[in-house]
């Protein structure tokens, strides 16, 4: 029993030491400065009915498994990606700053809407995304 307590004490000390080192590394890299971007992705399409056994798209509603890509304000440099969950929700951690996300806003590939946001340190920025191909 006493050997088990000693072993547990050694393991706990190792875990605490490792956590302190990781915290120090995070602090030196500036990664402690983070904010969050979260929202819901929705698709605008044809109304769903019982006869149509589809999930979005093409039906109106939440958009699960949508790839959310966050760019720097130059519109070309990707800084982060995530996938919306089964309820269309997404959440991503970002450094404070200004970013954009493109969403479809018409039937052609280059029909996009630019969604702009500012991430603040320690804050959650809410941005709901609407995908609309214009096809009904």
For residues 47 and 115, the model is more confident at 115
Residue scoring higher pLDDT (39 or 31): 39
Q: What is the mean pLDDT of the chain?
A: 81
pLDDT of 19 higher than 80:
no
| pLDDT at 116 exceeding the cut of 70 | yes
The helix/strand/coil state of 7 is: helix
Q: How far apart are CA 60 and CA 42, in angstroms?
A: 8
What is the value of pTM for the model shown? 0.71
Where residue 7 falls among pLDDT bands split at 50, 70, 90? very low
64-75 pLDDT, tens digit each: 999 999 999 999
- Both tokens of 129, joined, read 């995304």
Pairing of strands 124-126, 35-44: parallel
Question: How many residues does the structure list for the chain?
Answer: 136
Q: Cα–Cα distance between 61 and 50 in angstroms, integer? A: 14
């Amino acid at each position: 029993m006493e050997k088990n307590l000693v072993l547990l004490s050694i393991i706990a000390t190792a875990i605490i030491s490792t956590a302190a080192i990781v915290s120090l590394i995070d602090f030196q890299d500036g990664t402690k400065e983070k904010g969050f971007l979260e929202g819901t992705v929705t698709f605008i399409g044809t109304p769903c009915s019982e006869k149509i056994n589809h999930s979005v798209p093409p039906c109106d509603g939440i958009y699960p498994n949508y790839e959310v890509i966050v760019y720097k304000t130059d519109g070309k440099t990707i800084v982060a990606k995530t996938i919306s969950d089964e309820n269309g929700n997404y959440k991503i951690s970002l450094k404070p700053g200004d970013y954009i996300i493109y969403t479809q806003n018409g039937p052609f590939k280059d029909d996009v809407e630019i969604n702009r946001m500012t991430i603040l340190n320690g804050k959650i920025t809410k941005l709901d995304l609407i995908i609309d191909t214009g096809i009904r």
